[in-house]
Every structure is written in C-alpha cells, then in structure tokens.
Amino acid sequence: MKYPHSIPLWRTNGELLRGDALSRVVLSSAGARWNDVVVEQRHSSRFELADVMHKQHVIGINIGPSTTWEFKKAGRFRRFFKARGGICFFPSHQPFSCRPNVEKGVIVNVLFLALDPVFVSRIAEGLEFDADRIELIEQRRGTDSTLHHIAMALLAGVQTGVALDRMYGEALSTALAVHLFSRAWR
C-alpha cells in the first residue's frame, strides 16, 4: 500500500520539500481519527537534508539496524551512532541538517511521531507550566524506555487497526506530550 507523507519537511525559506524523493512511507496513521499525533514508519537510503524544519514537534526512533548519522551543529557535521531504539527530537520550526552515513543499498528504518505544537502547549498549560517559558530543544539520545513504549503502542495501534479508535490515539499522544515535559526532555 502506498501512504502519503503526512509529516512534511519545510525548507527555511518556506518551501515544502517533496518527501517521496527522500523516503518511502511504509505505514501511516494518516487514515486514523487521531487529531494530535501522526505516526509514520519510513524506509530510506542515502540522502542529505540541509536547513530543513518540521512545523510539528517530531520524534524519530531508529527501529532498524544500527546506523551512524551526521548532524550539523555550529557549522560542522558531527557523527552520532544510532543503535536500535536511538531517538532524535526535532522541535517545531527549528532548522536542522542531517544525513545518514550508510552503505549503498542499506535501508534506514525510522518511526516518526509528530505532535501538534498547539496540543503540546495545551498539555503544558494543563501541567501548570508557563507554555511561553518552556523550551523544547533538539536532542539525540541513545534510548528512552518510556518514550519507546508509547511509540511502540502507537505503532501497534496502526498495525492492528486500533488506530481507528480516536481515544486510543488521544490517550497515547497525551502521555507522549506529558513525557516530553519531564525533566529529561526539557
């Protein structure tokens, strides 16, 4: 089945980047009745993203073999080893540049979770945080077991058809947003 790219990338000049040129969506919650979270499993090979951003808060989890990635910070690329379960977090509207450093023919298998920034702000207010004073920052981590379990539950919901239940997606997206406000992610 062919799925649309529902977690778009934007160039910093506001131009939409064609996602199908970089990766193939192999599973998506696009048809689910979930309002605040989008789940996509993508396969890709070698590519490079330069000065792009998401308009959603996006979490990427490596669910395939270990890979080495290069992320540009302070004008130069730095290497990060991403074992299975490794996580990247990209806050909305924050430009980044990256590229997987993989051999030709190797498939990168990543699960993406995208949260609506307005929803995340509502969760912050519900937790009695001042949403205007909280800053979510770009991060790369080895693993986070809580985040991983929530992500796998969302993925299982899409795979089994539970994704059709709106409350399932809302409950897990709320848990995910609350977890982002834990000390570990701010």
Q: Let me know if 32 is exposed, middle or buried by CB neighbors in 10 A (0-12, 13-18, 19+).
A: buried
The pTM (predicted TM-score) of the whole model is 0.92
The token duo for 103 is: 């051999």
Quote the pLDDT of residue 103. Answer: 77
Determine, yes or no, domain membership for 134: yes
Cβ atoms of 53 and 29 closer than 8 Å? no
| CATH code assigned at 161 | 2.60.120.10
Determine, yes or no, domain membership for 91: yes
Determine, yes or no, domain membership for 65: yes
Tens-digit pLDDT profile for residues 69-85: 888 877 888 898 889 99
Tens-digit pLDDT profile for residues 31-81: 888 889 999 999 988 778 888 999 999 999 999 999 888 888 778 888 988
Determine, yes or no, domain membership for 1: no
Quote the pLDDT of residue 93. Answer: 94
Cα-based distances in Å from 56 to 61, 92, 147: 16, 5, 17
Q: Domain range spanning residue 141?
A: 9-180
**How many independent structural domains does the chain possess?**
1
The token duo for 118 is: 């307005």
Quote the pLDDT of residue 21. Answer: 67
